[in-house]
Amino acid sequence: MKETASVHTSFGTPMKTLHWATAVLVLIMLYGGFTMSRETATMHFGTGLVVLVLMVAWLATRRASARPAYTPMPRWQEIAAKATHHGLYAAVTLQPIFGLLLVTTSKNEPVAYGVIPLKIARNDMLHEIGEWLHVINAYAIVGLVALHILAALYHHLVLKDNVLKRMLPFAKV
């Protein structure tokens, strides 16, 4: 049963674990995507599938878990925080889907981790749409991640509140 958010001051271990696992993989994927070579593509494809699974698990866990109430802040900051979080949820979940659209319609024979074939059928138009969506969404993720990190650091270093501590693995709030 879902408890009220006001009872909790910190996120639970499942949420923290999924958050940090996804965060690390997203940063690796962004770096890998912008520097990808033929040799690293198979890892990128496979890790994209892992990110998709993690995001589905994260969204399900978030829905089933109590969420700490927002730290008191001006209304515009709360709106910005919610918009950034929802933007991240959407963009990070959609990114592997756009990637799948891209690789499953490729003229090449893409494989994940060197063993999972991903090609369904060549379709140059869908491939181009997938490529465009994947690239544009990657830049959106970069912007949202930067905003998310900067806001967390602002709360921690300038406002000295508990916003960042609520998601740190071993921090006590």
Q: 5-159 in CATH: which number? A: 1.20.950
Share the mean pLDDT of the chain. 90
pLDDT for residue 3 is more than 70: no
Residue by residue, DSSP assigns 102-121 as HHHT-SS--EETTTEE----
Could you tell me if 73 and 4 are in contact, meaning their C-beta atoms sit under 8 angstroms apart? no
Residue 90: the pLDDT is 97
Rg of the chain over CA atoms, in angstroms? 18
| CA dihedral over 34, 36, 40, 43, signed as positive or negative | positive
The predicted model scores a pTM of: 0.87
Residue 12: the pLDDT is 84
Give 143-166 pLDDT, tens digit per residue: 999 999 999 999 999 999 888 888
Give 95-116 pLDDT, tens digit per residue: 999 999 999 999 999 999 989 9
